[in-house]
């Protein structure tokens, strides 16, 4: 008895090729789409297998750079999308705290002058954001050192999940406060304490 069923009718149940048991009803078009290799991200990620990229701090430029196996500096495509999203978020943070510090006292918009130095606020916010991201990088590097010394697959998966969670972490801002400095400072201190705890320096 053949364990394959050839039909163009989408209502006829398909059969498992190995066990001959009926599987869920599935349309022919869905089955054909599943058979195709349409996942471009999966295809592109196969090129990255075996790559060992190294991240290091360039002391003179004060930048964190990434080198590949051949010593060539690389920049990931996702970096630009992340940078745009972060710039948009920093602008929203600055706008929120500027609006809190600068209430509209007069309805005449033609004669309004800014009471807050916007460039200074953006510069301060970018400074704190940069410090926050550097402390987050130190924490992720500490997790990666732990990952390199773990042989249990389950523990490796837990460490990978912890690294991904830390990478996606954003600072919790006190929206009832008058400035973002205290919130950023508290988040930076928390990341430093977490890094010291993982490295066993506390």
pLDDT, tens only, 156-189: 899 999 999 998 889 999 888 888 999 999 999 9
CA 90/CA 107 separation, integer angstroms: 27
CA 26/CA 12 separation, integer angstroms: 8
In the prediction, which pLDDT does 177 show?
A: 83
Q: Which sequence spans correspond to the domains of the chain?
A: 76-199
Determine phi and psi for 65, rounding to 5 degrees.
Answer: -120, 160
Asked if residue 108 has pLDDT above 60, the reply is no
User: pLDDT digit string (tens) for 117-154?
Assistant: 888 889 999 999 999 999 999 999 999 999 988 888 89
CA 137/CA 63 separation, integer angstroms: 12
Of 183, 166, 185, 186, nearest to 175 by C-alpha is 183
User: In the predicted model, what is the mean pLDDT of residues 41-53?
Assistant: 69
Of 44, 49, 108, 50, nearest to 78 by C-alpha is 44
In the prediction, which pLDDT does 92 show?
A: 92
């Amino acid at each position: 008895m053949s364990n394959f069923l050839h039909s163009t009718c989408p209502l006829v149940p398909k059969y498992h090729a190995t066990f001959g048991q009926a599987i869920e009803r599935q349309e022919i078009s869905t089955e054909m789409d599943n058979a195709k290799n349409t996942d471009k991200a999966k295809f592109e990620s196969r090129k990255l297998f075996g790559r060992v990229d190294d991240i290091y701090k360039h002391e003179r430029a004060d930048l964190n750079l990434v080198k590949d196996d051949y010593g060539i500096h690389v920049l990931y495509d996702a970096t630009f999308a992340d940078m745009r999203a972060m710039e948009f978020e920093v602008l929203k943070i600055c706008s929120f705290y500027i609006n809190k510090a600068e209430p509209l006292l007069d309805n005449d918009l033609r004669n309004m002058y800014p009471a807050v130095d916007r460039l200074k606020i953006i510069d301060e916010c970018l400074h704190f954001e940069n410090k926050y991201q550097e402390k987050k990088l130190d924490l992720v590097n500490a997790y990666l050192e732990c990952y390199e010394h773990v042989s249990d697959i389950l523990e490796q998966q837990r460490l990978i999940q912890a690294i991904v969670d830390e990478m996606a972490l954003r600072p919790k801002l006190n929206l009832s406060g008058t400035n973002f400095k205290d919130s950023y400072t508290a988040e930076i201190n928390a990341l430093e304490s977490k890094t010291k705890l993982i490295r066993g320096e506390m």
